[in-house]
Amino acid sequence: MQKRILGKSGLEVSALGFGCMGLNFGYTTAITKQDAVKLIRHAFDKGVTFFDTAEAYGPFSNEEIVGEALEPVRDQVVIATKFGFRNGRPADGLDCRPERIRQVAEDSLIRLRTDRIDLFYQHRVDPDVPMEDVAGTVKELIAEGKVRHFGLSEASAPSIRKAHDVQPVTALQSEYSLFWREPEKEVLPVLEELGIGFVPFSPLGKGFLTGQITRNTKFGKDDFRNIVPRFTPENIEANIVLVDHVKEIAVEKKATPAQVALAWLLAQKPWIVPIPGTTKISRLEENLGGASLELTPADLQKIEETLSRMTIQGDRYPKHLQELVGK
């Protein structure tokens, strides 16, 4: 597995990380703790050194899984986790008060079975707490050795600048894929200017870019995608042309659509590190193949031409969740 450095921070990670959320949160494909630990360790054996979790996933139990899985190899991996929600539960609203950030850090250290958090993200920008206070608190935690790097998730360009003025931001985590290119407008230029790495989550469009979702797909009753406008049957029907095109390139490259989608992301900037997630070893190994797939300038141009001719239909979040991003 190739390595990449997140911006100018010096934080080196595998070119593809592993998003741990879906192991037991957000989808109806949750697996047993034993199988989740096994999967994370298999990812490490295959060269993955960057693992992403959050107190809100579960809540709390996802961090415990990651901590148990990575304890034997703790010094060989980078663990990212997040603070930002009241009581660790997104449904309870935001809470990024300094005292809450400190409490999350202490609790996460215990669950992760570690003495430091490598990358500590603000999960969502809290409009009720000045960014200067948030960044200042993380700066103190870094000085105390409890945190190594500061990150933001789904933050706007102005918020990134405010935070970076107080404590250098190592990475921004936001959704980015062939299915969602909004960060290219304002966020990516700011990250490049300031030397901040970018960690795309949902790099496979929440499964859409794998080619496995059709207009007839039925999601489980607790699956997050049931409330995502982009996954209504009519919007799947409208957007399937993108997947069909990705499939064509995949056939030419003797690869899979997922591998093409991940290779496309890696080709955008050398400081981009996607974090695809899965619950299956076969899918994990398929995804990792995307790191070694090279798309030629002609391949990238063909993809660009297809995207320029179409408009992806459907919002990526329902209204109540969309209100939490881009602040």
pLDDT in tens, 167-223: 999 999 999 999 999 999 999 999 999 999 999 999 999 999 999 998 888 888 888
Residue 132 carries which side chain, given as an amino acid letter? Answer: E
Whole-number Cα distances in Å, 74 to 113, 170, 284: 9, 20, 21
| Angle of helix 297-308 versus helix 233-253 axis, rounded to 10 | 160
Is 39 part of a structural domain of the chain? Answer: yes
Instruction: Determine the pLDDT at residue 17.
Output: 98
Is 249 part of a structural domain of the chain? Answer: no
How large is the greatest C-alpha to C-alpha distance in the chain, in angstroms? 54
pLDDT at 28 over 80: no
pLDDT in tens, 48-90: 999 999 999 999 999 999 999 999 999 999 999 999 999 999 9
Instruction: Determine the pLDDT at residue 323.
Output: 85
Q: What kind and span of H or E run contains 120? A: strand 117-122
Is 242 part of a structural domain of the chain? Answer: no
User: Contact at 8 Å (CB) between 213 and 188?
Assistant: no
| Angle of helix 61-70 versus helix 98-111 axis, rounded to 10 | 50
* CATH number for 14: 3.20.20.100
Region of poorest pLDDT, from 27-31, 265-269, 281-285, 313-317: 27-31
Number of domains in the chain: 1
Instruction: Determine the pLDDT at residue 57.
Output: 97
CA distance 229 to 246: 22
Is 325 part of a structural domain of the chain? Answer: no
pLDDT in tens, 134-154: 999 999 999 999 999 999 999
Is 258 part of a structural domain of the chain? Answer: no
Across residues 285-300, what is the average pLDDT? 96
Across residues 118-129, what is the average pLDDT? 98
Instruction: Determine the pLDDT at residue 324.
Output: 86
How much of the chain, in percent, has pLDDT values that exceed 70?
100
CA distance 165 to 264: 31
Q: What kind and span of H or E run contains 82? A: strand 78-83
pLDDT at 15 over 90: yes
CA distance 294 to 265: 11
Is 176 part of a structural domain of the chain? Answer: yes
**57 in catalytic set:** yes
Asked if the bond preceding 233 is cis, omega within 30° of 0, the reply is no
Instruction: Determine the pLDDT at residue 26.
Output: 86
Across residues 22-32, what is the average pLDDT? 87
Instruction: Determine the pLDDT at residue 56.
Output: 97
pLDDT band at 321 (very low <50, low <70, confident <90, very high): confident
Instruction: Determine the pLDDT at residue 205.
Output: 94
Q: Where are the alpha helices (DSSP H) in the chain?
A: 33-45, 61-70, 98-111, 131-143, 157-166, 187-194, 233-253, 257-268, 281-288, 297-308, 319-322
180: DSSP letter: B
- Domain encompassing residue 24: 3-207+268-292
pLDDT at 30 over 90: no
The active-site residue, picked from 57, 121, 176, 317, is 57
Residue of 223 and 109 predicted with greater confidence? 109
How much of the chain, in percent, has pLDDT values that exceed 90?
89
Is 74 part of a structural domain of the chain? Answer: yes
Region of poorest pLDDT, from 65-69, 172-176, 268-272, 305-309: 305-309
Is 316 part of a structural domain of the chain? Answer: no
pLDDT band at 104 (very low <50, low <70, confident <90, very high): very high
